[in-house]
């Protein structure tokens, strides 16, 4: 069996490591790390949201410009299980994109109804940052394929939202709310289509957005 020359091997490894470090330092430019401050939040009763937690002494008197981070969407585990053979991956991705854009559009609409706020395209230009997620999206009657589904309500979803003071990178509030869309009519069902699903979820996201805008207005006074 051939024996290794340990000393020579160590020398080679040391040289390789040194060259690797030199190459890294020569070509890599370190990116600045944005440190988010997460103070202790206190949960308070809210007239609309299931859960609303806020930092102590929140006051944003000069806050006007709002940045909305890209909105991620995830389906409910039950929906994924029940529809694993019923809907295509293309449908799932298209639905995520459509509903992500829908929530953003509703947030922009609600914020810009108030002359205090302006939605900006970068965090650097903002006073407040909204970081929303749509969780547990469950569309009772997916419109992918030939299957017809009649429903009383289009489905449900949850909103998970963090609100930051962008200037200080400080988390100032957390919002969570899970609810169903409006009911079509307690006495009859309605055929679920892409248009009806979109319409009912648009109403739900409009309610979320108007309540968020009202809360930001309260912070900014």
Residue 33 lies in a domain: no
Residue 30 lies in a domain: no
Domain holding 208, by residue range, is 42-219
Residue 34 lies in a domain: no
Q: According to the model, what pLDDT value does residue 7 have?
A: 40
Is the pLDDT score of 37 beyond 70? no
Distance CA 52, CA 49 (A): 6
pTM above 0.85, yes or no: no
| Residue that the structure tokens 């230009």 belong to | 125
Residue 119 lies in a domain: yes
First to last CA, the chain: 80
- Burial (CB < 10 A; 0-12, 13-18, 19+), residue 9, is exposed
| CATH number, domain containing residue 154 | 3.40.50
Residue 7 lies in a domain: no
Look at the chain and report how many structural domains it folds into: 1
Alpha helices in the chain (DSSP H): 6-27, 77-82, 89-112, 194-219
State phi, psi for 50 to the nearest 5 degrees: -65, -40
Three-class SS state of 65? strand
| Residues 95-137: tens digit of each pLDDT | 999 999 999 999 999 999 999 999 999 999 999 999 999 999 9
Residue 61 lies in a domain: yes
| Residues 128-178: tens digit of each pLDDT | 999 999 999 999 998 776 678 899 999 999 999 999 999 999 999 999 999
Question: Would you say 103 and 158 are in contact if contact means Cβ atoms under 8 Å apart?
Answer: no
E strand or H helix that includes residue 53: strand 51-54
Question: Would you say 130 and 107 are in contact if contact means Cβ atoms under 8 Å apart?
Answer: yes
Q: Tokens representing 214?
A: 């009202």
């Amino acid at each position: 069996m051939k024996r290794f020359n340990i000393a020579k091997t160590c020398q080679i490894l040391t040289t390789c490591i040194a060259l690797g470090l030199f190459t890294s330092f020569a070509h890599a430019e370190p990116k600045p790390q944005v440190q988010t401050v997460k103070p202790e939040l206190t949960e308070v009763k809210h007239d609309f949201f299931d859960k609303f937690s806020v930092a102590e002494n929140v006051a944003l008197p000069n806050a006007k410009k709002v940045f909305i981070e890209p909105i991620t969407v995830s389906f409910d585990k039950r929906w994924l299980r029940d529809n694993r053979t019923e809907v295509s991956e293309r449908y799932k991705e298209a639905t995520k994109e459509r509903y992500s854009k829908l929530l953003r559009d509703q947030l922009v609409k609600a914020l810009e109804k108030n002359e205090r706020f302006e939605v900006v395209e970068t965090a650097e230009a903002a006073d407040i940052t909204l970081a929303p997620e749509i969780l547990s999206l469950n569309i009772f009657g997916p419109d992918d394929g030939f299957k017809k589904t009649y429903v009383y309500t289009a489905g449900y979803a949850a909103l998970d939202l963090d609100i930051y003071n962008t200037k200080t990178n400080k988390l100032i509030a957390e919002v969570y709310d899970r609810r169903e869309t409006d009911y079509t009519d307690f006495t009859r069902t309605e055929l679920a289509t892409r248009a009806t699903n979109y319409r009912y979820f648009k109403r739900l996201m409009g309610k979320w957005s108007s309540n968020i805008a009202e809360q930001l207005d309260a912070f900014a006074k």
